[in-house]
Amino acid sequence: MSYPSSSHQKLIDWETLIHTISSLSYPPNYLQQIPYSYSNSYPYSYSLGSLILSNLQLLTFPSINIPLPHTSLLQPKNFTLIFLNTKSMAQPPKSRNNRRSSSSTSYTSTLTTLVFVSLCVLTIWMLSSNSAVSPKIHNNESTITYDLPETTTTTTTSSATEHNNKNNNNNNNNNLDELSDTIITTTTSTRKDPTMYGDNSGRLPDNRDRNKHHAYITNDDPTSTSTSTSTETIEEDNSVQHIQSHENEEQDVQSFVYKNNENEMNEHNQEQQQQHEVTENQPKEEKKRRKGKKDLKKSQGDESEGEKERQREESDGNEEMQHLEWHLCNVTAGADFIPCLDNEKYLKTSHRRHYEHRERHCPEDAPTCLVPLPQGYKTPVQWPNSRDKIWYHNVPHTKLAEVKGHQNWVKLTGEFLTFPGGGTQFIHGALHYIDFLQQAEPGIAWGKHTRVILDVGCGVGSFGGFLFERDVIAMSFAPKDEHEAQVQFALERGIPAISAVMGTQRLQFPSSVFDLVHCARCRVPWHEDGGLLLLELNRVLRPGGFFVWSATPVYQTLEEDVDIWKKMSALTKAMCWELVTIKRDKLNQVGAAFYRKPTTNECYEQREKNEPPMCKDDDDPNDAWYVPLQACMHKLPVDKAERGTRWPETWPLRLQKTPYWLNKSQKGIYGKLTPQDFEADNERWKNVVDELSNIGVSWSNVRNIMDMHAVYGGFAAALKNLPVWVFNVVNTDSPNTLPIIYERGLIGIYHDWCESFSTYPRTYDLLHADRLFSKLKKRCNLVPVIAEVDRIVRPGGKLIVRDESSALEEVENLLKSLHWEITSKNQEGVLLAKKGTWRSNSFVTLY
């Protein structure tokens, strides 16, 4: 379609018309003059206002809805309609000078009527002509924009802002400040509305389907609000007028309350104009990005453009992360929620014969909800006082105090839970029991020969807690079962522990790493299923290490106990374990059997029956991440250069000693030969205590530490002289350096941080992540990872991140959305953040 040239424009001089009417002393309602917008492509532009003459008895219009031209005249551009509540127009004050004699009334009315009819005829003529509606007709204060198909949105320029400011002044002169009844209601869309997922509005992530179960929502603040808004109706005289386009589609409506003060009007107008620019550009840029992805080619220039696009998307993602909306997890476990152990969907159908329901079964989508705080939660008691008492409200469970109080496990004392240091096998205290064991078998040599032990069925952790006094660190574990919160009690006390069970899968430890394994009435049926569970202990026990079994079959003569003892004796003999001694503790009236694992394969080769059988040669004994248990034994190393042929150096020499079995011809993590790599790691971390002290870490408030991405254990080794313990996590997709960590006399575990960790909420004072998140973001979403960090860390606890800038920025934005305080961030790529007590007020149901 062609259009006439701009010289043929037909414009109405409204000022002249109003002046003519006013001269007749018949005060019309104040007319809102609507400035036209000139467009090069649409030279024919016009604007119509609502003209109501209040003294005319012929017509009364509550509002004027301007009809549109025929659809053939409309092009796919934005056009604007203005609706005005005429009853809200203030009347000018009457004065004596305005009074006319009755003789002039007829004349004036007639003339006014003629003028009005002329206007109507003129309007009809214009609407039926070849005029074109301009793409936009700007109101002085705001616009009501309809998006037609294939709309191309333009950005308002600064000149338009100046034009609007001038119009604001004119509006004030024309008493537009009296139009207080023109009310606007704007309803912004949220992600809760499924209709908003259709065409990405610029703020919704494209991967929303992948994260549909994630409990976060983008905030609808002014800087990120979608340009799509829900259709509103304009209320007037208790009637509703629905606004429709030529296609009868409901469109977005925005209007704004008029301000009485001129300065307020200008500021508000500028604010809205800036917001309009942002919201209009977002969908445009998003479409541009999507189109760019489709047309991307392999040329060097296109690759550069693709990199710029990736950076833009990263920037958009970081901005969105700052506005994540978090929810609390609505689950049965409440404040004790462990996602991979409290998977209610799995527990409904799980098998229980071999304790499968106590093993890890992570939800398909890692949860992003937050765990609530227990009511009355307080800052934990500091070590060493925490070994003896904790706040009841931090772990508000009393069942163990009721059923195990007489064995001195735990007691409720006022607002504290107190721990006398007893256990089922050591009612009179763990320290006496620890000394009894060494007296029974001097070869144990606590804190020298024996440094790292595994405590099976640890209860509330008193055995491991008192072993610290003998320079021994215990890796304690127990299932999350009817002994409610036993592992949580241990961690709250400042004692290492995890929630785990001996069921159908291997423990998440390497082979041959524990100097001693301890079981005091741990309720594990070692003799059943061909000794399957005892063979798992054989896997993780160091050659020459001790298994200490303190249970009723050792010292009681009941028929059941005698039967178990016979079966246990046959099994241990077939496994080539040596029964070193059986001793009885007169004070506690218990006994303990001491077994020792062989150091050579000689006994295996001389057995009459190959039962239990030897494992296949291709079965790696160090594989432990979701690996099913096998009723077999691995051959012991023969080459003197292999790990396990020699006992480690005595503690504390073993901490800094380079393991003899490191491959001298293989390169390590940092690119050097392994022995030199190990020494470089020690050198790297030797000053870490002073470094972290300088950026705000108060070590007096730190007890439980986790190194989320440990390599050789250098970070933990550097903290040796502090009253802390460090749980070293070796990632399942990283080189297997966990045996080195145990060789040094430290503890650790395998884990994949794309899943939840097997610990209770609020159990660590400090988490350290060295180059972790930049690796993780290649495999999984960081949102649930940070949600897991928030679950593990205690209120007041800290996270230290060392990483590349992009990962550091993403983590920082996520932490800010959780209301963590960023206390330090330096140019070396080190970030220190502190968790507060903020929790969301809303819940999301997971199961």
Q: Map 619-674 to HEC letters.
A: CCCCCCCCCECCCCECCCCCCCCCCCCCCCCCCCHHHHCCCCCCCCCCECCCCCEH
Find the mean pLDDT for residues 469-489. Answer: 93
Q: pLDDT category, 113, cuts 50, 70, 90?
A: low
Element (H, E) at 126: helix 105-127
Residue 141 has pLDDT above 60, yes or no: no
58 or 733: which carries more pLDDT confidence? 733
Do 347 and 465 belong together in one domain?
Answer: no
Domain boundary among 606, 631, 651: 606
Do 276 and 319 belong together in one domain?
Answer: no
Q: pLDDT category, 317, cuts 50, 70, 90?
A: low
Provide the token pair at 668.
């390590």
* Residue 399: per-residue pLDDT: 92
* Residue 119: per-residue pLDDT: 76
- Least-confidence region, from 288-292, 384-388, 440-444, 785-789: 288-292
Do 325 and 453 belong together in one domain?
Answer: no
How many Å apart are CA 839 and CA 819, to the nearest integer?
9
255 or 175: which carries more pLDDT confidence? 175
Find the mean pLDDT for residues 423-451. Answer: 97
Do 57 and 181 belong together in one domain?
Answer: yes
Partner residues linked to 731 by β-bridges: 751
How many Å apart are CA 651 and CA 272, to the nearest integer?
69
- Residue 46: count other Cβ atoms within 10 Å of its Cβ: 19
Q: pLDDT category, 110, cuts 50, 70, 90?
A: low
Does any domain span residue 438?
yes
Find the mean pLDDT for residues 806-816. Answer: 96
- Least-confidence region, from 300-304, 356-360, 367-371: 300-304
| Amino acid letter, 45 | S
Element (H, E) at 768: strand 764-770
Q: pLDDT category, 223, cuts 50, 70, 90?
A: very low
* Residue 84: per-residue pLDDT: 35
C-alpha 346 chain-centroid distance: 23
Strands 473-478 vs 497-499: parallel, antiparallel or unpaired: parallel
Residue 204 has pLDDT above 80, yes or no: no
Strands 324-326 vs 216-218: parallel, antiparallel or unpaired: antiparallel
| Boundaries of domain holding 695 | 215-220+302-370+659-847
Q: pLDDT category, 143, cuts 50, 70, 90?
A: very low
* Residue 126: per-residue pLDDT: 61
Does any domain span residue 168?
yes
Provide the token pair at 116.
């009005």
Q: Which of 514, 534, 479, 532 is nearest to 749 (CA)?
A: 514
409 or 256: which carries more pLDDT confidence? 409
Helix (H, G, I), strand (E, B) or coil at 328: strand
* Residue 687: per-residue pLDDT: 96
- Least-confidence region, from 189-198, 344-353, 696-705: 189-198
How many Å apart are CA 203 and CA 217, to the nearest integer?
11
Based on the structure, what is the number of domains in the chain? Answer: 3
* Residue 103: per-residue pLDDT: 41
| Amino acid letter, 82 | I
Residue 579 has pLDDT above 70, yes or no: yes
Do 146 and 268 belong together in one domain?
Answer: yes
Q: pLDDT category, 101, cuts 50, 70, 90?
A: very low
Do 170 and 266 belong together in one domain?
Answer: yes
Is omega for the bond preceding 135 within 30 degrees of 0, making it cis?
A: no
Partner residues linked to 324 by β-bridges: 218
Does any domain span residue 742?
yes
* Contact between 32 and 258 (Cβ < 8 Å): no
Global pTM exceeds 0.75: no
Q: At what angle do helices 14-23 and 105-127 cross, to 10 degrees?
A: 160
Does any domain span residue 203?
no
How many Å apart are CA 756 and CA 330, to the nearest integer?
17
CATH code for position 811: 3.40.50.150
Do 672 and 808 belong together in one domain?
Answer: yes
Does any domain span residue 445?
yes
Do 260 and 312 belong together in one domain?
Answer: no
Residue 216 has pLDDT above 50, yes or no: no
Does any domain span residue 615?
no
Does any domain span residue 613?
no
How many Å apart are CA 522 and CA 23, to the nearest integer?
103
| Amino acid letter, 40 | N
Find the mean pLDDT for residues 301-328. Answer: 64
Do 487 and 547 belong together in one domain?
Answer: yes
Winning range, highest mean pLDDT, from 3-12, 45-54, 120-129, 694-703: 694-703
Does any domain span residue 148?
yes
Q: What is the pLDDT of residues 507-528, one digit of tens each?
A: 999 999 999 999 999 989 999 9
Dihedral, 832, 838, 841, 842 alpha carbons, nearest 10: 20
- Least-confidence region, from 259-268, 301-310, 445-454, 584-593: 259-268
Q: What is the pLDDT of residues 389-434, one digit of tens each?
A: 999 999 999 999 999 989 999 999 999 999 999 999 999 999 999 9
| Amino acid letter, 166 | K
Q: Which residues contact 217 (CB under 8 A, 6 or more apart)?
A: 190, 191, 192, 324, 325
* Residue 318: per-residue pLDDT: 59
* Contact between 408 and 402 (Cβ < 8 Å): no
How many Å apart are CA 737 and CA 510, to the nearest integer?
10
- Least-confidence region, from 62-71, 306-315, 664-673: 62-71
- Least-confidence region, from 18-27, 441-450, 517-526: 18-27
Residue 482 has pLDDT above 90, yes or no: no
* Residue 348: per-residue pLDDT: 87
Residue 747 has pLDDT above 50, yes or no: yes
Average pLDDT over the chain reads: 75
Helix (H, G, I), strand (E, B) or coil at 385: helix
Do 821 and 780 belong together in one domain?
Answer: yes
How many Å apart are CA 440 and CA 592, to the nearest integer?
9
* Residue 315: per-residue pLDDT: 57
- Dihedral sign, Cα of residue 579, residue 581, residue 584, residue 585: negative
The two counts, helices (H) then strands (E), for the chain are 22, 25
* Residue 43: per-residue pLDDT: 36
Do 456 and 575 belong together in one domain?
Answer: yes
Do 467 and 493 belong together in one domain?
Answer: yes
Residue 816 has pLDDT above 50, yes or no: yes
- Dihedral sign, Cα of residue 193, residue 199, residue 202, residue 208: positive
